[in-house]
Structure formats: C-alpha cells, structure tokens
Amino acid sequence: MNIPESFLNELKQRTDIEDVISSYVALKRCGSKLVGLCPFHNEKTPSFTVFTKTQSFYCFGCGTGGDAIGFIKRIENLDFIDAVKFLAKRTGLQIPEKELNDSFGSEYETLYEINKETADYYHSYMLSKEGKKGLDYLISRGLEKSTINKFNLGFAPDCRNSLLFHLLDKGFWIGDMVAAGVVRNTQKGYCDTFRKRLTIPITDLSGKVIAFGGRTIDGTMPKYINTAETRIYKKSGGLFALNIAKNSCKKSIILCEGYMDAISMHQAGFDNAVAGCGTALSNEQVELLKRYSREVILVYDCDDAGQKALNRAIGKFRAANINIKVPFLYGGKDPEEIIRNLGKEQFAQMLYTAPDDIGYAISHLYQKYNLSTIQGKLDLISEAAVILSAASSIERNLYISQISGNLDVDRESLKAQFDLLL
C-alpha cells in the first residue's frame, strides 16, 4: 500500500495527539507533558506520557511508544493503512482513492471483498424461497429479522459450486476464493466450503468480514465449520462481535462461548457481548478484552466441557489481572432460553450481580458437600482453603467470616485452621 508521503504529512499536521489520546486515556498536565494510566498495561500510578511538542507518546512502564498513527494502530488493533484511514476520517481528510487500490494492499482488499460478497450472497439466499429452511431455523431459535440483518446471517445452498459461480460472475478468481477460505480445493475439484449451513460472518474491529462460522441445522456433524486461518484471519486473534461491543459504554464485556449466544444477547440489548471463534480462549483474546474493558463477565455452558473451559479461562484472566464475574445461570440451557423464560431484566440481574471467581468457586462448595455431616463441613473447609490461597488477605478474611456463619463454626478456630492449611 502506497499512501503518498504528502498525504501522511498533512494528516500528521492536522492531527493533535493530545486530542486523539485523550478520547481513550484521562490525561493530566504535568509541565510540558501529559500523563495518564497506560491503556496497554496494568498500572496504578501513571507512567504513560504524551509529549505534545514532538506529537508522540511513550510509556515508561511497558515501553510502548510512537505517534498518533502508532497509538491508533495499537489501541484499535488496526494495521497501518486502517489506522491512517481511521485518523483521516476523524480529521475529515480524504485519502486519494487511486492510491488505495494500488499495490500490495489490494491483495488483502480482494479477500475482504470476497468475504463481503459471500456474506451478502448467503444472506439473500436465506431470504429467498429456496433458503427458507435456514430462516425458519433462526426464527425457531428466537432471532428477529432485524437481528438476522444486523449480523448479516445467511444460509448456503446444498450445492457444490453455487458460491463459486456467483463469485466468478462477480469477476473474482478461484485462487483468491480459496485464499479467502470460502471455496476449498479438494481431490474431487473445487467445492464451496459452507454447504447447507447457516453462515455467521466474523468481522474484524473495523467491521470488515474476515471469516465465517458455518453451523448445520440438520444434525450433520461437525456442528460447526469455521474458516481456516487465512492471510486476513487468525483464529486465536479475534472475538466475534467485538467490533460492536467495543463501542458500548458499559464497564464490562460479556464473554460467551457461541456465536448464537452472543447474537441472542445483542438482540436482548446486551450489546457488550462477544464470543470466541470456536477455539479455546487464547492469550491474545485475553489481551484484547483487557484493552476494551476492566471487567469480563463469563457466560459459559453449564455442561462439563463448558465448566472445564470456564476454569481455564478463569486462570488466564487471573494471570492477566482482569476482574471477572462468574454468574450462576438458571432458567434455561443458554442465554436465549434464559432471556425467553425469565426476561432480560432478570438475566441482567444474574450477570451484573454475579460473584467474582472466588465467590463462585466457594458457592459451589455449599452444593458439593453434605453440610449436615461433620465430614462434609471439614471437606468444604479444606477445599475452601485451597481456593482462598489465591485470594488477597482481605478477601480471605471476608470469606472466613461468611463460611463461619454458614457452617456455624467459631470464626477464630476456622481462621486458625485456614492458616494451618495455607
């Protein structure tokens, strides 16, 4: 991608770094500099510094630094060209169109275009008479037309090459379709990747389609096929619906396991919900969440697999120093069902008043052990001691009081027992 030097210079001149950064970070003047809490690492005293004179920033804590474009790249998770576009839009500058279509950027541009065309094609197919089965399924799962349109959900025909021919018609090359992951090159020839499946477009932070989740509606296994990694899509790097959730002003982000869960939550007004893309939670995703929110609410499935994934996620968030809440879900097997059965107010109550991970783990113990027996109480105490070893001393003391009340055990002897087990 060649952005003319003259354009970049003009953009830099018209961009005030203080103005750009202060829409993300609360800055305080300190002599000729401005300081604030670094958005790229966790800190309690400000080491993030903005130098208005040189129009640059530097964090003395984590060493991140650069100019306004560098800041936008990092905080919005954009590549250079998209960061330039982002700032240009903000300042009302027009990038010369011709330059944008030139050079190596266009290779990626083609993949984005193919994905967009694919999403639209499957969406219109679903709204046609032939694709009604897909639409009926989504409606049976409680989705409204407006939600289906908002997420551009679609349905793929049960046909080997319908997308391939459609894209050829639009002037795309087969090689690029394969590179985008929407067509596969098999031993029997080229074949559309998503056949007879619902298509859920996955977008990057700027809203461009970069991949798809494909879900069966007739019990065919596997239930989900996702786009394999491509030049514009890295599975472990993204979060479904984060492009919408990042604009929500709520202080927390809701993380759930499935696309459908996230979509149902958005429909009910929880526009701060995101989902992983069919893989275990990665460190990159944890970092991404940390960038957009101080708190993550974990909505995982109640089955064994879900609980195992939940425990792994809790470990990762704790290590990354992110506050989490773990709600006890009831009233249905997934968010859509819970919202349908109990209403969104009660679901919101469940989420926003949820305990943190330690509270969640301790509460589980009360169900796990038979507390009418002495052995049950003793077992609970030893397991609670293990859980509380990860807690701060103030947290530990609060839980000791709570447990002593609940088990009707003298607080001091319980505390002594805990200190022994630690």
Sites of contact with Zn ion (CB under 5 A): 38, 40-41, 59, 61-62
Query: Least CB distance from residue 62 to Zn ion, whole Å?
Result: 3
Query: Least CB distance from residue 291 to Zn ion, whole Å?
Result: 12
Query: Least CB distance from residue 47 to Zn ion, whole Å?
Result: 6
CB of 40 or CB of 292, closer to Zn ion: 40
CB of 25 or CB of 198, closer to Zn ion: 25
Query: Least CB distance from residue 70 to Zn ion, whole Å?
Result: 13
CB of 36 or CB of 258, closer to Zn ion: 36
CB of 62 or CB of 178, closer to Zn ion: 62
Query: Least CB distance from residue 41 to Zn ion, whole Å?
Result: 4
CB of 235 or CB of 290, closer to Zn ion: 290
The first and second tokens of residue 228, run together, are: 């394999």
CB of 57 or CB of 155, closer to Zn ion: 57
Query: Least CB distance from residue 294 to Zn ion, whole Å?
Result: 15
